Structure 1
Amino acid sequence: MAPPIGVHRLHGTVFFNTGDAWNDNCALSWGICGPLIGALYTLHHTRLLVTRQSAPGLCPGSRRRWHGTDLPEPRRFILGSAPKIWHNHDMSTDKPIPPKRYWLLAWLLTLAIIPALSIYGRRLQTLARENLDTGLLAWLIATPTLLLVFAVLLHQVRRGNYRQLWHLSWALALFGLLPLTLPAVEERLHFLVFGAFGLAAGRAFPIWLAVFLGTAAAGLDELLQWALPDRVGDWRDVGFNLLAVGGGLLLARLGKR
């Protein structure tokens, strides 16, 4: 009987199960990871911008007062820096909410997801394969993903901003194509979550602290997998985790420019 879906390790050797299981893994990974990629992109690029067409003294779409007199020009480009003043308010105090608070919440979320995937990843993979139509799910995710990429490229071309487009190309290759080479769904999810961890840490903390936290998380996660009966930690996984964290940190640094 063929081994179950995913990656199989025996005495330190990695075995890959190909065929229908591999196809199911690819479709399922896109189905699960696609929304995460979209959420990361939205979190990194969406912001409320004050333009010169906005009503003086008011935030767009809000009747609350604007704290300041200078209205900055909008700066919209791929991996571009967010405005220095965050145009959102705490409803209780009516004070601007700093953007680092959002990144800190995102970092805490990824910090909780990483060990959860190590503990429940195999069960999640089995449950998803038994209850989801992977082919249809892959199409539902691939179509809006392609439309999103096309819309971003069209937006940049229309604005005449070509310098930042190459960042989109390597980011999609790193976080969109490389995870497909990993044999198990939980490993692909791990890669994307570690990328999100690096991105959030790079925006929420100083770079030296973000590098330390990313390195520590990559190592401690594999130690946890060594302790689990259905998982096996190895140096290869540590390397992939560090690669994902490094990509996320690079995106964070580019976003601060």
Structure 2
Amino acid sequence: MPRISPPLQQEKLGRELRALRTAAGLTIAQAADRLHCANSTVSNMENGHTLVTPGYVRDVLDVYDADEPTRRRCLDLLTDAHRKPWWHPQYRRVLGRFVVYETEARLLRYWQAQVVPGLLQTLDYAREVIAADRPWEEDGLVQLRARARIARQWVLTDEADPLVVDAIVSEEALRRPVGGPDVMAAQLTRLLDAGARPTVSVRVVPRSVGAHAGLTCSFVLFSMQDLPTILYREGGIDEIVDAGLGVAEEYERRFEHLAGVALPARPSAELIESIREEFVCTGRALA
């Protein structure tokens, strides 16, 4: 399955069409007049909010006097935008904007202060985390969210184009007894296995570091092809923030700081194994 995110292809097409309109020296109102449509139609198309037909895109390209390579590129984007997302229909209800960017990201930089990163979780661990985070939800919906989280992990093992992950996690998150010792032992084994993959790096910020730039937040940075870095920020209300707004730059600096205080990969793996053994041998992580 190709790592193509149709909603993201739609956004890319919108950016292309906006750039073409600007290069043609047309305002939204002027473009709408030539296309015999409402201003909002042009605006929604450029913002990626409206999935248009091939015939309409050809009309737009004619008005903007696009050259042949540009026409092919735009029509290819439109073809991909009309694909069915891999998460439809089974997980559409429980997967939001995060998966739109994760599916096509070239590099994903994780900082997790509280739990193991979602892409590296086991099913049992994911179910416990989601149930604790959403105690009002029915068990069936919790189960669906957990299965969706595991389904997302195919991007790590895609043979043709695996996602590169640089994950940094706090030692506290690894010691938190989510679901009991058996769940934690299996989860830490999974983390070690993931870190052994050539495209996945797992590093730990030890408790001995004390205060650091990741104490009050968890976040993910998506590095995309042909798009600025995208920030996903957790805490209270989770949100996606486009780096074009300048906000993600601060979090890139935070990640650099965390990378500087985290243990290297091998000592991190040794610490994870040590904590895993504590859960196996004593039923808990030692203080």
How high is the TM-score relative to the length of structure 1?
Answer: 0.29
Structure ranking higher in helix proportion: 1
Higher normalized strand content (fraction of residues): 2
Identify which of structures 1 and 2 has the higher relative contact order when contacts are C-alpha pairs closer than 8 Å and 6+ apart.
1
Q: Determine which structure has more spread, i.e. the larger CA radius of gyration.
A: 2
